[in-house]
Amino acid sequence: MRLNTDFNETVVIRPEDYSWVPSPMPGVERMMLDRMGEESGHATTIVRFAPNSEFSPHSHPGGEEFLVLEGVFSDEHEDYGVGTYVRNPIGTAHTPRIGEEGATIFVKLCQFDENDQKHFHIKTREQQWLPGLVKGLSVMPLHEFEGENVALVKWAPGTVFNPHKHWGGEEILVLEGTFYDEHGEYPKGTWIRSPHLSQHHPYTKEDGALIYVKTGHLPVEE
């Protein structure tokens, strides 16, 4: 299967574009954002687990990164509540088991550098925010490895950021509020993937925004 695999194109998927499809496991549905291959290939997905559902034991041949959006995601290692960011590097394994609340996660599979071996989780709701580059912007760094950066960015209402280019591309998931740039309006739940050297001038209006951002991870043409 190939879905949104041209990394030279900008892709925008809003909540009204969602199409949930069943996974191989009962009670587990997926909204596929990009995908190369079948169950073990490169994938970026929003996964929705029904209460008391589970997923079969599996390993991560290309690593797994996820952010808990709703409910509590559990496995034999930990219970991960809303806002928890998790990195399971290449070679790790687990058996997801979901409790009575159910869970929804944003997950990226098979996208790790083989040398990126940090295995950790961050309860973002318990972490401090750092000041951003402009007034009204707060940043919570989550991970960095050889040019790839992952962070949460909180935008106060009426914040305007500097026009900028994305070396190595940029990927955004809007977690709260509404995010804007000169190209469009992006409400909560919108996923945006912008290619290497794309550019924009982002801002917020009266409701502000909270976004997940990953930069520097997309192909760079020489």
Beta-strand (E) ranges in 15-147?
A: 21-22, 28-36, 42-49, 58-59, 64-74, 79-80, 84-88, 93-94, 97-109, 120-123, 130-131, 137-145
* Residue at 221 is within a domain: no
Residue 24: phi and psi, rounded to 5, are -65, -15
List of residues 6+ apart from 89 with CB closer than 8 A: 60, 63, 112, 116, 117, 118, 119
- Per the DSSP assignment, residues forming a β-bridge with 194 are 170
Query: At which of 122, 145, 177 does a domain end?
Result: 122
* Residue at 4 is within a domain: no
- Quick count: other Cβ atoms within 10 Å of Cβ 14? 16
Residues 117 and 141 grouped into a single domain:
no
Query: At which of 122, 141, 163 does a domain end?
Result: 122
Q: Give me the pLDDT at residue 34, please.
A: 97
The angle formed by the CA atoms of residues 179, 82 and 41, to the nearest 5 degrees, is 80
Q: Give me the pLDDT at residue 221, please.
A: 72
> What count of Cα atoms within 13 Å lies in the side-chain half-sphere of residue 57?
4
Q: Give me the pLDDT at residue 222, please.
A: 56
Q: Give me the pLDDT at residue 39, please.
A: 66
Q: What pTM does this model have?
A: 0.96
pLDDT, averaged in runs of 10, over the chain (222 residues): 94 98 94 86 95 91 97 95 97 94 97 95 98 97 97 98 96 98 98 97 98 96 64
Number of domains in the chain: 2
